[in-house]
Amino acid sequence: MVNSVRFVDPGKNYRMIKDEIDAAYFEVMEKGDLIDREHLKRFEQNLAQFVGTRYAVGLNSGYDALHMSLRAAGIGPGDEVIVPAHTFVATCSAVVNVGADPVLVDVTNDFNIDVDLIEPAITEKTKGIIPVHLSGYMADMPKIMEIAQKYNLSIVEDACQSLGSSIDGKRAGSWGLTGCWSFYPFKILGGYGDGGALTTDDPEVAAFAQRMRYNGEDRETGEYHGHGFTCLLDNMQAAFLDIKLRHLPDWIERRKIIAEKYRQSLSDLPDLLLPHYDKPGFDHIYQNYTLRSKQGSEFSDYLKSNNIEVLTQFRKPYYKHAALKLEDRGFPETEALSREVCSLPMNVELTDDEIDYVISVVRSFYKK
């Protein structure tokens, strides 16, 4: 009988594809191919193809992808970049760490940036926008691209939570100058440690990232093209991720089935707002199943006390952390959802019995 459910279960996921992962491990180890070898190149080709861009460049993390993208766009001191008030802090930190100023904009009830608030936030210093596609559902890219064209802004898509999602069939990470990806273990394409990538159609951006991830060096000529960084995706991680990428389409289908099961079983509860939206053409891949409960922490604590791992990102918005020195201009939707968010377990390792257990615990909370 099920009496606990993990948020994700990397060990169980490994056992589902153990033969393939073990074979890749032994192949890489036997060859001693650790840095910038064929597995990385192959994964980059396959990732680019999956996203629908000409290039993918493997990096150490999603943060590195954001950081590198802003540098490639020439964004630096004196520039402003628009970012959502509700996102993982790395989106904003990348802006700060290139010396630019983040300008925070509130989100709507799908957790993504409110496109109607973008134009009022634009000044003559604005150089870019980082739309974040949160939880597997994309920000309104058609409108954002229109604004970008009108004001000549660079778009860096923070797609770290949305590999595989799309609008009218055009995938996340293929709209802007770059798409930024994280392979942190909790992600839909999770590695065995940190990892990331950027995708782009621009050959100069791809070449820039390829050099800068390797201390500025052009690996063919040995020429240094600038003071760079050490932030290359490991060849071993790339070999593992390439295997997982092949499973991703099936895994996305499984996530959609789980989401539908949650919807069918919970949508009658009036105090829950479930993450099902009706924007035509927008495809949700459910990286996270983040709902809102009017009972906030009382609800999430109840699930935890019944041994269900949930995420409550983020009870405290990042701009409220004093050390970050960000201006809290008041973001009503972010404030409201921060009190209420709760992500239910959502992963391909879940059994039907575990899903039923989560549903029964949620329902028992509302019966109390």
Ligand X SMILES: Cc1ncc(COP(=O)(O)O)c(C=O)c1O
Q: How far is the CB of 32 from ligand X (least distance, A)?
A: 27
Q: How many CB atoms lie within 10 A of CB 32?
A: 8
Nearer CB in complex with ligand X: 179/196: 196
Which of residues 157 and 340 has its CB atom nearest to ligand X in the complex? 157
What is the spatial distance between Cα 344 and Cα 292, in angstroms, rounded to a whole number?
10
Give me the least distance between CB of 356 and ligand X, in Å please. Answer: 28
Of the pair 90, 209, the CB lying nearest ligand X is at 90
Q: Which CB, 158 or 242, lies closer to ligand X?
A: 158
Minimum CB separation of residue 133 from ligand X in Å reads 8
Cα–Cα distance for residue pair 116/121, rounded to 1 Å: 10
CB of 100 to ligand X, least distance (A): 17
Shortest separation between residue 287's beta carbon and ligand X, angstroms:
8
Neighbours of 283 (CB within 10 A): 19
Using DSSP, state whether 162 is helix, strand or coil. coil
Q: Which residue is nearest to ligand X (CB)?
A: 62
327 three-state secondary structure:
coil
Q: Are 72 and 177 in contact (CB under 8 A)?
A: yes
Alpha-carbon distances of 65 from 48, 203, 209, 289, rounded to whole Å: 14, 16, 9, 25
Kindly give the residue spans of alpha helices, DSSP state H, lying in 80-169: 89-97, 118-121, 141-151
Interacting residue ranges for ligand X, rule: CB under 6 A:
61-63, 87-88, 90-91, 132, 158, 160-161, 182, 184, 194, 196
One-letter identity of residue 2: V
E strands in 203-356: 272-273, 282-283, 289-293, 341-344
Helices 352-367 and 296-305 cross at an angle (nearest 10°) of: 130
**Cβ of residue 159: shortest distance to ligand X, in angstroms?**
8
Residues near 231 by beta carbon (within 8 Å), at least 6 away in sequence: 59, 60, 61, 64, 68, 213
**Which DSSP helix (H) or strand (E) runs through 128?**
strand 126-129
Tell me the closest approach of the beta carbon of residue 273 to ligand X, in angstroms: 20
Minimum distance of ligand X from residue 323's CB (angstroms)? 19
Rg of the chain over all Cα atoms, to the nearest angstrom: 21
